[in-house]
Structure 1
C-alpha cells in the first residue's frame, strides 16, 4: 500500500548550482550527493520538517530519450517548466525575504480563493508557487 510521496524530481541545468539555490536561498537541507556511475550524480534536498520527502535535482538525460532531454533543457531555458508548490506561513514576508536575496518573482503576492500566492523562478528556470493557505 502507498503511504506517502517520498521523492519528486526537479530538472535543472547544473546540479551544484541548483542544490546551492535550494539550500542557501530557500532554506532546504542537503540530503544526498552521490555518484551513480561515472558522470552521473544523484543530488537530493529536503525540508527539515519533512524527512520523508526528498527533491531530486536531476539533469535532463537518461532515462529520458535524447529528444525528450533536449526538450526539457529547452523548456528550462525558456523558463517554461513548472516545479513545486511551497507552503509558507506569510507570503508577503517570504516575498520580502526572498526578494532581498535576489530571487526572481514572476508574480508578486496576490489574493486567491485559497489564500495568498506568489510565483518565483529558481536558478534553472523552474517556476515555484509560494502559497499561504487561507485559514479554515
Structure 2
C-alpha cells in the first residue's frame, strides 16, 4: 500500500486577501478556483510538490452554520494548526514575507531541536513557519 498526502486545508477569512499572500508572496500557483452553492474554494500548489495542493476556504464553506461559527472562533483566536513550509533560502524568504507586511512572529533562528526557521501570521491569523531545507 502506498499513501501520500494530496490536499491540506487552510481556513481563511478572506479568500482574495489570502490568495494574494499564498500566490503572490509565497509564489504558489493556483490550481483550481471553484465555486459551488455560493461558496468558493481555491487550491494552490508548488512545482516542487506537484501532487500536493493546499485548499483555501472560509470557515462556513461546506459546513453547517454551527461548525462554521466554531471554526471562525478558532481562526480568530489563532488556534488552528500551523503550516510549515520548507525553503532553500530562509533569509530571502523571511525578507520577502516581511516586505509583504505579514506579521513577524519570529525572526530566523536555529531551534534547539535542529532546524533554522522563522514564523509569520498570514492575513487571517494562521501561523506560517518556514524551515531552511
Q: TM-score, normalised by structure 2?
A: 0.88
Cα-to-partner distance string for 1:69-102 (whole Å, 9 max, x where unaligned): 2122122223232331100113233212221222
- Structure 2 residue aligned with 1:13: 13
Structure 2 match to 1:123 = 123
Secondary structure of 1:8's match?
strand
| C-alpha separation in 2, matches of 1:31 and 1:82 | 23
Please list the CA deviations of residues 45-90 of structure 1 after superposition, one character each: whole Å capped at 9, or x if unmatched.
Answer: 1112211000000111255443332122122223232331100113
Quickly say closer, same or farther: Cα 1:62–1:25, change in 2 above 3 A: closer
Deviation at 1:118, TM superposition (A): 0.9
Alpha-carbon RMSD: 1.7
What number of residue pairs does the alignment pair up? 132
1:52-131 matched pairs, under 5 angstroms: 52-61=51-60, 63-112=62-111, 113-131=113-131
Structure 2 unaligned spans of 5+: none
SS at match of 1:87: strand
2 CA distance for matches of 1:18 and 1:124?
Answer: 7
TM-score (norm 1): 0.86
C-alpha spacing 1:82/1:105, structure 2 compared with 1 (3 Å): farther
Q: Return 5+ residue gaps in structure 1 as ranges.
A: none
